[in-house]
Amino acid sequence: MVVEEQEVIRRGLLALLSTIPEVSATTVAHIPARDDRMSTDFDVALISTSALMSAERAGRAVEHLRPVIVIVPAAEPHLFETATRRPADGYVMQAELTSRSLRTALVQVREGQLAVPDTVAAYLLSRSRGTSSVLLPQLYHLSSRGAEVLALLVAGASNKEIAGRLGISIHGVKRHVSALLSQFHSPNRVHLVSLVLQSGVLSAGDLPGTFPATATAAAGATTTAPARRP
């Protein structure tokens, strides 16, 4: 489902989606004029930052749309702030948008992975700096299962991989991830991971597995990290 108020951009997105083999059908949705909830009859919602701004101005809620990929129009702080204000499962930069990059993001999100460009990951990490004093008490109040899911997220595991590792359903994994996002007041998974990396309590090497390149790049942007607590 495409949510974009500007017709030229909307047509461009639909044209790109029509070239992706995995996309069998596309629908277009608009920010409702009244206080109505938008349809959730879709596999992935592709929503632009301008549509998010329109929704905010109109007082319309779009938080119930999941999974969702947000299109960031340019690498500017105020646009990053708007784009990352609501929970999202992935981001794409409008300037870097091609059929290939859009397909990659869609496949990653459908498989429960993070779809985050390096520029967005770096912004989320910079926004999380200095939050360790808030983060650490939350870490110490995690359930044992919540801690396991969080550690696997930091290790870069997808929902499917976490489910297989812990012997639980993918639905159960999604429930734990949603609870973690709420507990840490994070808009999305990559922000949650960057918070944990910044705290120094967990690192990408604590568990075996391939850590996402975007999060690894963001972690490398930190020159110093707080000492790890025993």
Amino acid letter at 195? L
* Sign of the torsion formed by the C-alpha atoms of 115, 91, 86 and 84: positive
170 occurs within a structural domain: yes
Say which CATH number the domain at 34 has.
3.40.50.2300
Q: Are residues 19 and 92 in the same domain?
A: yes
What is the pairing mode between strands 28-29 and 2-3?
A: parallel
Q: Are residues 63 and 136 in the same domain?
A: no
Q: Are residues 54 and 139 in the same domain?
A: no
| pLDDT averages per 10-residue partition of the chain, 230 residues | 83 91 86 66 84 72 76 77 76 88 89 78 64 57 84 84 92 91 83 76 48 35 35
Q: What was the pLDDT predicted at 200? A: 64
Longest Cα–Cα distance in the chain: 55
Q: What was the pLDDT predicted at 215? A: 36
Query: 137: which 2 tokens?
Result: 């008490």
CA distance 159 to 192: 15
100 occurs within a structural domain: yes
118 occurs within a structural domain: no
23 occurs within a structural domain: yes
CA distance 72 to 94: 6
- From 53, 85, 110, the end of a domain falls on 110
- From 110, 134, 152, the end of a domain falls on 110
Q: What was the pLDDT predicted at 207? A: 46
* 210: CB partners within 8 A, 6+ apart: 156
Q: What was the pLDDT predicted at 193? A: 82
Q: What was the pLDDT predicted at 137? A: 62
Query: 80: which 2 tokens?
Result: 């990053």
Q: Are residues 105 and 70 in the same domain?
A: yes
Q: Are residues 148 and 98 in the same domain?
A: no
Q: Are residues 99 and 156 in the same domain?
A: no
Q: Are residues 106 and 129 in the same domain?
A: no
Q: Are residues 25 and 79 in the same domain?
A: yes
Q: Are residues 129 and 106 in the same domain?
A: no
166 occurs within a structural domain: yes
Q: Are residues 159 and 136 in the same domain?
A: yes
What are the contacts of 102-105 at 24+ separation with CB within 8 A?
102/16, 102/17, 102/20, 103/20, 103/22, 105/69
Domain count, the chain: 2
- pTM, two decimals, is 0.62
Residue numbers of the domain that contains 210 = 125-220
CA distance 182 to 176: 10
Give whole-number Cα distances, 174 to 34, 135, 208, in Å.
Answer: 31, 21, 21
Q: Are residues 8 and 34 in the same domain?
A: yes
What is the pairing mode between strands 45-48 and 90-93?
A: unpaired
With beta carbons less than 8 A apart as the criterion, state whether 26 and 106 touch: no
- From 110, 137, 153, the end of a domain falls on 110
227 occurs within a structural domain: no
Q: What was the pLDDT predicted at 211? A: 33
Q: Whose structure tokens read 């983060």?
A: 135
Q: Are residues 157 and 182 in the same domain?
A: yes
Burial zone of 150 (CB within 10 Å; 0-12 exposed, 13-18 middle, 19+ buried): buried
Give whole-number Cα distances, 225 to 106, 127, 132, 170, in Å.
Answer: 33, 15, 10, 33
Q: What was the pLDDT predicted at 212? A: 37
